[in-house]
Structure 1
Amino acid sequence: MGHLGFSYVGMIYLFMLFIPNIIWSKNQPAEYEYKNENRILIIFERIGQVLVSCTVLIFSDFNIHSFSVWSIWLILSFAFMLIYEYWWIRYFKSHKTLKDFYSSIFGIPVAGATLPILAFLFLGIYGNVIWLVISTIILGIGHIGIHLNHLKDITD
């Protein structure tokens, strides 16, 4: 279920998530104008954002403990976050078009949305905290769904 307590790993992940997004707010694609998004997906995304942000901070199970085979989940999770950071660097060095923003990396579609979802999902598995797994699935439905709809719009 999880042990209540502060997670420094969760805070690091949130910094890795929020810092590029803050920079992006000043570097959005010129054509980025979405007003008529699927309301259900937006609800899932917003609820998931709050749940993930809170859950990842309040369970100490995400902090690094002794190394074991189970640590592979943390390593995979962190690898997805590092690839996410690399994806952002690639975006910031690009022409910053919608195509760049919804790009794939290493075969992972809409990587800017998918990579952090995978990272938080694996972090939830590592910490054995079902609440983060459920929260991440809710966020993923909304966030990845919205990004896939945007990608569909620019490829049609």
Structure 2
Amino acid sequence: MFGNFGFSYIGLLFLLMLFIPNVMWSKRIPQGYTAKKENKILLVFERLGEILTCCCSLVFSSFNIHKWTLWSLWLIVAFILMIMYEAWWIRYFLSERTLSDFYSSFLGIPLAGAALPVIAFFMLGIYGKVIYMLIATFILGIGHIGIHIQHKKSIDIEN
């Protein structure tokens, strides 16, 4: 449950799938978006979770593709979730890019832009049997999803 140290090309792929749309988003931020008034405790959880998740993704070779077994389904589920995340971004970029678009659900998953990658990285942690990744994504989920819930509530109040 502790994983094997070594470079993970799957972890790198997941991080690229995570970061590329986020870099693109920085040039297409929804009108009215602000990070002001974010809960400081949730922000600490988010930042710590981001650092830990990124580090775990790269330093455990346990995430790389191994001999096919039933356990490999965890990796397939993780990839499907990341593909859904990419599809959510495509839908966002093709939309009017409002706050409602940014905090939207996707295929029944609420706050998909925050939830999908957290769940995908958690599934990757299960696949690799890396407890550190599970802990990192749990911390990330508390902060990242928590902040998105706060933002969503604030736009629901305004509307």
* Normalised-by-shorter TM-score class: over 0.9
Matched residues in 1 for 2:142 and 2:35: separation? 18
Matched residues in 2 for 1:60 and 1:131: separation? 13
Instruction: Mark the runs of 5 or more structure 1 residues left unpaired by the alignment.
Output: none
Deviation at 1:30, TM superposition (A): 1.2
1:56-75 mapped onto 2 (5 Å cutoff): 56-75=57-76
1:93 aligns with 94
Matched residues in 2 for 1:100 and 1:140: separation? 20
Task: Find out whether 1:49 has 2:50 as its counterpart.
Answer: yes
Give the residue type in structure 2 aligned to 1:12: L
Matched residues in 1 for 2:42 and 2:7: separation? 30
SS at structure 1 position matched to 2:70: coil
Give the residue type in structure 2 aligned to 1:10: G
Worse-matched range after superposition: 32-41 or 134-143: 32-41
Matched residues in 1 for 2:58 and 2:17: separation? 14
Could you state the TM-score of these two structures normalised by the residue count of structure 1?
Answer: 0.99
Could you state the TM-score of these two structures normalised by the residue count of structure 2?
Answer: 0.97
Percent pairwise identity: 58
Q: Which runs of 4+ in 1 moved over 6 A?
A: none
2:10 aligns with 9
RMSD: 0.4
Task: Find out whether 1:21 has 2:37 as its counterpart.
Answer: no
Deviation at 1:116, TM superposition (A): 0.1
Instruction: Mark the runs of 5 or more structure 2 residues left unpaired by the alignment.
Output: none
1:55-92 per-residue CA deviation (whole Å, 9 max, x = no partner) reads 11000000000111000100000000000000000000
Task: Find out whether 1:126 has 2:127 as its counterpart.
Answer: yes
2:147 aligns with 146
**Aligned pair count?**
156
